[in-house]
């Protein structure tokens, strides 16, 4: 191999090395972007889990409120029916006296 061929070969290796370094840099940048995306995704998943837990808590509170209102409604209905019966009894008693 002549010195000219050797010099040309070495220049080609230098060019290949430069291209390899550029590719490595792009790969490193891509890996960093991927890591940031994965971190963002982990944060989104954590936020989603927290939102689901909060939603479950709200659902439980809503269910408790519904039960409380249902009990109150039953009590109101019971008192209303009792008062209606007392009224009708008094009304019938008055009608019988006349």
Q: Mind listing the pLDDT tens digit for each residue in 46-72?
A: 999 999 999 999 999 999 999 999 999
Answer yes or no: is 24 within a domain. yes
Answer yes or no: is 94 within a domain. no
Structure tokens at 21: 């370094």
Answer yes or no: is 95 within a domain. no
Rg (alpha carbons) of the chain, rounded to whole number = 42
Answer yes or no: is 85 within a domain. no
Tell me the residue range of the domain where 20 lies: 1-71
Q: What is the pTM of this model?
A: 0.55
Answer yes or no: is 86 within a domain. no
Q: Mind listing the pLDDT tens digit for each residue in 65-82?
A: 999 999 999 999 999 999
Answer yes or no: is 98 within a domain. no
Return the residue matching tokens 């509170």.
Answer: 61
State the chain's maximal CA–CA distance in angstroms.
141
Number of structural domains (the chain) is 1
Q: How far apart are CA 33 and CA 44, in angstroms?
A: 16
Q: How far apart are CA 87 and CA 81, in angstroms?
A: 10
Answer yes or no: is 15 within a domain. yes
Answer yes or no: is 8 within a domain. yes
């Amino acid at each position: 191999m002549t010195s000219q061929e050797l010099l040309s070969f070495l220049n080609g290796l230098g060019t290949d090395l430069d291209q390899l370094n550029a590719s490595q840099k792009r790969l490193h940048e891509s890996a960093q972007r991927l890591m940031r995306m994965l971190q963002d995704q982990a944060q989104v998943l954590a936020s989603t889990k927290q939102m689901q837990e909060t939603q479950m808590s709200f659902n439980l509170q809503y269910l408790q409120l519904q039960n409380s209102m249902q009990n109150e409604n039953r009590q109101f209905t019971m008192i209303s029916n009792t008062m209606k019966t007392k009224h009708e009894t008094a009304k019938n008693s008055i009608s019988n006296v006349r």
